């Protein structure tokens, strides 16, 4: 594999991790302790840059105490 591809792959990995870190920080700032349905999106900016964003739903997860009904079919 050409060296340029390895470098690009590493940069893309770092960009995705930064997007996830920002998402987690934002969710914590909103009082959440988890994020569900996380997705990535990327946009090409010009010919030399990509923008990578992560988005999802910030939620508060609480322990199960046995009284919750996760699915109720009637």
Determine the pLDDT at residue 73.
67
Determine the pLDDT at residue 6.
86
Q: Is residue 72 part of a domain?
A: no
Q: 27-72: per-residue pLDDT in tens? A: 999 999 999 999 999 998 888 888 899 999 999 988 777 776 667 6
Q: Is residue 70 part of a domain?
A: no
Which residues are within 8 A (CB) of 24 and not within 5 positions of it... i.e. 6 or more apart?
35
Q: Is residue 33 part of a domain?
A: yes
Q: Is residue 17 part of a domain?
A: yes
Residue 23 domain boundaries: 3-59
**Domains held by the chain: number:** 1
Determine the pLDDT at residue 74.
59
Q: Is residue 64 part of a domain?
A: no
Determine the pLDDT at residue 5.
79
């Amino acid at each position: 594999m050409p060296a340029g591809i390895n470098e690009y792959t590493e940069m893309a990995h770092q960009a995705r991790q930064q997007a996830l870190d920002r998402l987690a920080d934002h969710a914590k700032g909103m009082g959440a302790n988890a994020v569900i349905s996380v997705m990535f999106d990327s946009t090409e900016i010009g010919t030399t840059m990509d923008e990578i964003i992560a988005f999802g739903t910030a939620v508060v997860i609480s322990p199960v105490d046995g009284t919750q009904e996760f699915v109720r079919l009637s």
